[in-house]
């Protein structure tokens, strides 16, 4: 079945690709039913949305250059006289002029930021959002003088003598201080996105309930002023029963999210009651700060609170799965709320909603204090955060604003040789038409929330700003189609927020990246993401001078095994034991692993990291201390401006934090490091390893 000409024009107008080239260069045509499905789904909002104050157009231009705006972008019926004014973000008028019969407008140059262009003819009025972008994203001064490096960790995996069984902001503070002493310029962590407190075992930070709000499980509760002043909660925490529970949770090899969430919520509920009643001058001042936070964050903060209240009620006695997580498993009358019903529920559950808003305030506050601590100890880039592709389908983000998302579609990846059936990530995408009609404000708010306490932000699947592989509801990944997003506008916003928040941006760009995307990323000086595991070409790894310079380089990621596990093929053993890979496919993976290992050994010999008489090959040589150090030295001496080293690799630990393709078969996002932070930084071997890396970065 062919695509009709009218359907073709409608589809292309809203960014649907009718064909694409697969990884082998074959031209693949989009299924006509899929094209029709998304052409209907992605139609721009109609006039009733425009009347609510949406933008008629969004236009990106560079700062300090005259702005050329073509009026063909608008449906002008009479432009014989067109009054034009420009307002800045505070509503102040910074330009005004009336044009006679213009075809286009030449507007004055402006500093970077967000503006409203108001146009009025005799019969029509239009509102255009102007995105005036800096030439590049933020480029920190530290990179002018040195090659920077840092330590990357899965925050939940950290052990210490003080945490409650999960790595927390107290551990992060300790790691910042110790890392700074070793010369590290940043500490990289997993996404801190809010998950589902009512379903603690839903642990993936890449399948969150909200990308705007934070996961309070990382709070360092004893550091809170409320804890220090509240004798009742202190006495509860110091009881033998609770202390035994905490010690047991610390000693476990994996994070027990259910017990830890219950424990922390019990403490926090007690502290919230104290916060509400205390007459301490310090707490009274904190109540004023909290009220200011609530006012600044607006209705969205209360909606996430209400979501968590209702989710606790609905999931009190049931575990959720993919199709029942969050609001997907609620009673019908709560899944989609009218404005009056939402207000009624907010009033009915006001105190609990306030509690969850308070948790967001505490978490935001502690995270900001950590970034300030980085500054005080001389860690120049600070915290390196991570931004997931999108929130999950049952999320607070989707429930709070269902119009913004294509709830009946999912983001994924097309079939390729490594994944013959493709991938369905079960993440609903933004509706690009609605996003644009709102002037991209939800995207701005989400980026700003993520950048405000980070010095570096990694954007997972940065290609998603250009195009996404979208899959219709109930279909397989093979039935998907590429949909293009407003790339120029999204990149403009990324640059504006990066500069305002002084946050360096890393774009995870693994795989095939179209030239136009690569050009735009380079133009805005977005750092590339280089993973050593994936860099083998023609049975060799790159020379250190051939590493990408404007890039973040690392040995592995959260989705691949640690270096020790990679070298000893423990991940492949797991895939075989779990039946994820079998037979010829598994054999090929083992054979490829031998090739990759030998290529790395040959590259180390080539560059004199291993002497000519250093005995052993990929089949006979186990991972050992000197080999581990030389691989890190090879990475550290590369020309890439940023290098991240993973703590599990420095510990020579065999571990996989996430095993792609698994769900409940493997404890994803739960495994802990083998040693506590105190032992790691008291170990002369570990501190000398870090010093070795620091010196190698100066080469």
Question: How far, in Å, CA of 567 to CA of 623, rounded?
Answer: 6
pLDDT-based confidence at residue 423 (cuts at 50, 70, 90): confident
Beta bridge partners of 159: 676
pLDDT for 46 equals: 66
**What does the pLDDT average to over 6-18?**
93
Residues 6+ apart with CB under 8 A from 479: 31, 33, 34, 471, 472
Please, are residues 488 and 60 in contact by the beta-carbon 8 Å criterion?
A: yes
* pLDDT of 41 strictly over 70: yes
Mean pLDDT in residue range 377-392: 97
Q: How does DSSP assign 391-446, residue by residue?
A: --TTSHHHHH-GGGB-TTEEEEE--BTTBTT-EEEEEPPB-HHHHHHTTTHHHHHH
Chain centroid, CA 612 distance in Å:
43
Interval 424-457: pLDDT, tens = 988 999 999 999 999 999 999 999 999 999 999 9
Do residues 126 and 147 make contact, with C-beta atoms less than 8 angstroms apart? no
Q: What is the pLDDT of residues 71-107, one digit of tens each?
A: 999 989 888 899 999 999 999 999 999 999 999 999 9
Percentage of the residues of the chain whose pLDDT score is greater than 90 = 90
Higher pLDDT, 300 or 660: 300
Structure tokens that stand for 174 in this block: 């300790």
CA atoms within 13 A on the CB side of 570: 17
Strand 27-29 and strand 19-21: pairing?
antiparallel
Task: Considering the chain, tell me which residue range(s) the CATH 3.20.20.80 domain(s) occupy.
Answer: 196-400
Q: Does position 50 have pLDDT exceeding 80, yes or no?
A: no
pLDDT at position 331, please? 96
CATH of 196-400, one of 3.30.470.20, 3.40.50.300, 2.40.128.110, 3.20.20.80: 3.20.20.80
pLDDT at residue number 45: 75
* CATH number, domain 64-133: 2.60.40.3080
pLDDT for res 418: 59
pLDDT per residue as tens digits for the range 645-690: 999 999 999 999 999 888 889 999 999 999 999 999 999 999 999 9
In this predicted model, what pLDDT tens digit does every residue of 175-212 receive, in sequence order?
A: 999 999 999 999 999 999 999 999 999 999 999 999 99
Q: Is the pLDDT of residue 322 over 90?
A: no
pLDDT at 350 over 60: yes
Nearest to 409 by CA among 424, 423, 397: 424
The pLDDT-based confidence of 466 (bands split at 50, 70, 90) is very high
Q: What is the DSSP letter of 511?
A: S
Per-residue pLDDT averaged across 147-174, rounded? Answer: 98
User: How far is residue 640's CA from residue 420's CA, in Å, rounded to a whole number?
Assistant: 34
pLDDT over 70 at 417, yes or no: no
Order of strands, edge to edge, in the sheet holding 481-484? 423-427, 409-413, 467-472, 481-484
* 21, pLDDT greater than 90: no
Provide the pLDDT confidence category of residue 48 given band limits of 50, 70 and 90.
very low
Cα distance between the two ends of the chain: 61
pLDDT of 47 > 60? The answer is: no
Strand 382-387 to 456-459 pairing: parallel
Global pTM reads: 0.96
- Please tell me the distance from the alpha carbon of residue 411 to that of residue 481, in angstroms, as a whole number: 10
Cα–Cα distance, 685 to 650 (Å, whole number): 10
- Intervals of CATH 2.60.40.3080 along the chain: 64-133
User: Residue ranges of the alpha helices (H) in 97-239?
Assistant: 142-145, 169-181, 225-229, 231-237
Three-state SS at 463: helix
């Amino acid at each position: 079945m062919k695509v009709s000409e009218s359907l073709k024009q409608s589809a292309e107008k809203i960014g649907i690709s009718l064909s694409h080239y697969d990884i082998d260069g074959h031209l693949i045509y989009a299924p006509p039913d899929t094209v029709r499905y998304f052409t209907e789904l992605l139609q721009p909002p109609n006039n009733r949305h425009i009347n609510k104050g949406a933008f008629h157009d969004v236009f990106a231009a560079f700062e300090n250059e005259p702005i050329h705006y073509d009026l063909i972008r608008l449906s002008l019926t009479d432009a014989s006289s067109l009054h034009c004014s420009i307002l800045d973000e505070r509503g102040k008028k910074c330009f005004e002029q009336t044009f006679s019969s213009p075809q286009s407008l030449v507007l004055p140059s402006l500093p970077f930021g967000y503006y409203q262009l108001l146009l009025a003819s005799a019969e029509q009025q239009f509102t255009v959002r102007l995105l005036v972008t800096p030439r590049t994203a933020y480029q920190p001064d530290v990179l002018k003088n040195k090659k920077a490096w840092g330590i990357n960790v899965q925050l939940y995996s950290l052990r210490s003598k003080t945490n409650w069984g999960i790595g927390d902001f107290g551990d992060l503070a300790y790691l910042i201080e110790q890392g700074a002493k070793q010369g590290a310029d940043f500490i990289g962590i997993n996404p801190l996105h809010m998950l589902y407190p009512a379903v603690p075992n839903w642990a993936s930070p890449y399948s969150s309930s909200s990308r705007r709000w934070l996961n309070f499980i990382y709070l360092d509760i004893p550091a809170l002023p409320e804890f220090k002043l509240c004798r009742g909660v202190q006495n509860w925490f110091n009881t033998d029963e609770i202390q035994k529970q905490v010690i047991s949770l610390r000693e476990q090899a994996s994070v027990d999210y259910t017990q830890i969430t219950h424990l922390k919520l019990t403490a926090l509920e007690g502290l919230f009651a104290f916060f509400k009643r205390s007459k301490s001058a310090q707490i009274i001042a904190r109540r004023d700060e909290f009220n200011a936070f609530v006012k600044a964050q607006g209705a969205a903060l209360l909606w996430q609170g209400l979501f968590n209240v209702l989710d606790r009620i609905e999931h009190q006695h049931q575990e959720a799965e993919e199709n029942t997580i969050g609001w997907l498993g609620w009673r019908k009358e709560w899944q989609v709320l009218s404005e009056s019903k939402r207000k009624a529920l907010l009033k009915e559950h006001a105190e609990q909603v306030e509690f969850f808003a308070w948790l967001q305030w505490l978490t935001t506050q502690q995270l900001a204090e950590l970034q300030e601590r980085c500054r005080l100890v001389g860690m120049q880039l600070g915290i390196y955060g991570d931004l997931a592709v999108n929130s999950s389908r049952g999320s607070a983000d989707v429930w709070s604003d269902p119009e913004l998302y294509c709830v009946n579609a999912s983001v994924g990846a097309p079939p390729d040789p490594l994944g013959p059936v493709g991938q369905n990530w079960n993440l609903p995408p933004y509706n690009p038409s609605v996003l644009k009609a709102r002037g991209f404000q939800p995207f701005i708010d989400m980026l700003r929330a993520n950048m405000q306490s980070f010095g570096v932000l990694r954007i997972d699947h940065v290609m998603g700003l250009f195009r996404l592989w979208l899959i219709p509801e109930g279909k397989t990944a093979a039935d998907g189609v590429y949909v293009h997003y407003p790339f120029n506008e999204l990149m403009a916003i990324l640059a504006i927020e990066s500069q305002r928040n002084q946050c360096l941006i890393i774009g995870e760009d693994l795989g095939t990246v179209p030239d136009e995307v690569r050009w735009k990323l380079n133009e805005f000086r977005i750092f590339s993401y280089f993973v050593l595991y994936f860099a083998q070409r023609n049975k060799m790894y790159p020379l250190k001078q051939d590493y990408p310079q404007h890039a973040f380089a690392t040995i592995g990621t959260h989705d691949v095994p640690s270096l020790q596990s990679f070298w000893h093929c423990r991940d492949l053993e797991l895939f075989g034991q779990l039946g994820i890979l079998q037979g010829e496919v598994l054999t090929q993976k083992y054979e490829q692993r031998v090739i990759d290992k030998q290529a790395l050994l040959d590259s180390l010999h080539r560059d004199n990291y291993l002497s000519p008489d250093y005995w052993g090959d990929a089949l006979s040589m186990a991972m050992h201390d000197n080999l581990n150090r030389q691989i890190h030295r090879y990475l550290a001496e590369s020309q890439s401006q940023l290098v991240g080293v993973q703590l599990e690799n420095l510990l020579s630990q065999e571990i996989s934090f996430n095993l792609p393709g698994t769900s409940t078969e493997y404890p994803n996002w739960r495994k802990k490091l083998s040693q506590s932070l105190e032992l790691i930084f008291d170990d002369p071997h570990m501190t000398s390893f870090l010093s070795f890396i620091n010196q190698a970065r100066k080469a």
